[in-house]
Amino acid sequence: MAVATETAAPAPTRRRGRPEQRPGLKRWLPYALLAPAVLLELFIHIIPMLVGIWMSFIKLTKFFIANWSSAPSAGLGNYKVALDFNNAVGQGLLKSFGVTIAFSLITVAFSWVLGMAAAVALQPEFRGRGLVRTLFLVPYALPAYAGILTWNFMLQRDTGAVNHVLDQLHLSDGKTFWLIGGNALVSLITVAGWKLWTFAFLTLMAGMQSIPRDLYEAASVDGAGNLRQWRNITLPSLRPVNLVLVLVLFLWTFSDFNTPYVLFGTAQPPAGDLITFHIYNASFLTWNFGTGAAMSVLLLIFLMIVTGIYLLGTGRRSRRA
């Protein structure tokens, strides 16, 4: 998409020097320029998505994957299995859904608070600000796999840096399990938050650049403290940025696959069983792609509903304001 807009933009400037252009050419040129992007979008997103939806209605188990056209229709069977909460598969999906909701909400809140704090702290000019800003961007610049794998090493029980530091500070006996059992969720949130907060920081910092300085000056003349300024100037001015930021952060964390996949490997604990990872296991480990596809479609529907409600709700309020 971005490619299309970039190529379309310079067109008028190029035309300026030339005499009249044939009207026929003018009519199809925009379409021709858009065509590659549309085709790619079609082949990369739309068609696979439709195929995915279609897969959720057939019985695509290992008996049929070598010749998928012979797979019998499952009707709503795959959805029934996924949504039957008295059954192990449905229960597993429900639990994983719960874990994912908790994970997303906490991770988004954590990333936002940290990003906001850092953005505010780096707002005034001081020596070395550029250096600190660059440093803060490291988690975002680091390849996800390398970053998460490093966390995996640090969170090991016997050899990990985290337990070593806690032990040296006498905060624990240094024998805490971080990657199995209940602590797995804490680790997962920490790692996902660490990866994500810089994005929040970057976005909020960019947003703050557009707030006029004189607003703050006027406020401090009126005797408003830092907190008051933040609440009454910074926060309202950043509202449009925040709306998009929170939504994007939520969608990203909710469908995070890399973090649990790399952090836990094949031994994922129930406390860290995020939904996309759960679906991957449900389809790839058991060779049951129909049910996996049904679960993906359900997830898609859920995210669409959440996004729709969020946009409607926030859109109405901002029109009123």
Would you call 126 helix, strand, or coil by DSSP?
Answer: coil
Angle at 128 between CA 124 and CA 130, to 5 degrees: 75
Q: Report, in Å, the least distance between residue 166 CB and other proteins.
A: 16
- 200 vs 120: CA distance, rounded Å: 12
CB of 140 to other proteins, least distance (A): 15
Q: Judged by CB under 8 A, does residue 150 bind other proteins?
A: no
Work out whether 85 is an interface residue with other proteins (CB under 8 A). no
Contact 173, 258 (CB under 8 A): no
45 binds other proteins per the rule CB under 8 A: yes
Does 299 engage in binding with other proteins (CB under 8 A)?
yes
The verdict on 68 binding other proteins (CB under 8 A) reads yes
181 CB neighbour count, 10 Å cutoff: 13
Beta carbon nearer to other proteins, 48 or 75: 48
Among 74, 99, 293, 294, binds other proteins (CB under 8 A): 293
* Separation CA 290–CA 283 (nearest Å): 8
**Dist. CA 45–CA 174, nearest whole Å:** 47
Residue 200 or 293: which CB sits closer to other proteins? 293
Q: Is 180 a residue that touches other proteins (CB under 8 A)?
A: yes
Among 44, 94, 301, 311, binds other proteins (CB under 8 A): 44
Instruction: Quote the CA–CA distance of 2 and 192 in Å, as a whole number.
Output: 28
Q: What is the rounded distance in angstroms from the CA atom of residue 83 to the CA atom of residue 30? A: 46
State the residues that interact with other proteins by CB under 8 A.
44-45, 47-52, 55, 61-63, 65-69, 81, 87-89, 91-92, 156-158, 177, 179-183, 251-252, 254-258, 265-267, 269-270, 276, 279-281, 283-289, 291-293, 296, 299-300, 303
